[in-house]
Amino acid sequence: MHDGVEKYGVEVNPVKSLANFDVIVNGSQVPCLHERTEFPYCGNSINTKTLEITKDRDRRKGTVLADTLTVEPSKVPGKAFYRKALNALKIQTHKMFLDTNFNSTGTVLSTIYQNFVEAAMKYYRYAKCMGGGKHPHLDLLIGTIHDLVELAFVLIKGKHKRQTEQGYSCTVSKCQVEWLAAKAFRNILAKKQSKYRLVILWLDDAIRRTKSDKAKEMWKLNRIVKEGDAIFIDYKF
């Protein structure tokens, strides 16, 4: 590709290429990762040592999340809010990030938590944008989070034949998914808690209910939450 394709009049600029090893093409040094292990590729990040794949969220730091969303007027704003909140999670749930055949369980759990954090931000923003100056009632707010977690677990576990036939596997438990979801929504809504006090109380109960009695597992999950929150510290929603 660096030699170009004369038929189409295109070529790849070596300076805008990237490799994880030293290489010279046509006398030009291709930029190298050097000390870094995370290789950026099409919005994703590939670990060059383990080959695990995650979403590259660093490239979106400083982005105003509200500017990336579309909210159309609706005669039934509650249903629109519910649908958009679930879709915000669904579009992130790609099995290549969640397959524990080639990603470690820790990496998959980190991806799940970060997906929930982003979904929680969009959930808040969609609720704020409901038409007519309205705000979702408590049952809708809680019910949406509940259904979002149920949908996430179905997608994460790949409960349909096509994924099973392809050898997809994800070894996380439902309690882990529920706990991470509750922590993500709790941490996001706590920053905007004026209209979410009762939702936060419900989330606190969910966190207690799904907490593992294994100290080592909770240490790992709390570390995942801490590291995940650090990634989103510059996100604006």
pLDDT given at position 131: 60
Q: Comparing 45-54, 92-101, 124-133, which segment has the lowest mean pLDDT?
A: 124-133
The answer to whether residue 184 scores a pLDDT higher than 90 is yes
Report the pLDDT value the prediction gives residue 135, as an integer from 0 to 100.
81
Per the DSSP assignment, residues forming a β-bridge with 147 are: none
| Conformation bin of residue 62: beta by default, left when phi > 0, alpha when psi is -120 to 50 | left
Q: What is the DSSP letter of 164?
A: H
More confidently predicted of 171 and 131: 171
Determine contact, residues 33/27, Cβ cutoff 8 Å.
no
Rounded CA-CA distance 38/119 in Å is 24
Q: What are phi and psi of 166, to 5 degrees?
A: -85, 0
Tell me whether strands 24-25 and 28-29 are parallel, antiparallel or unpaired: antiparallel
Mean pLDDT of the residues in the chain: 87
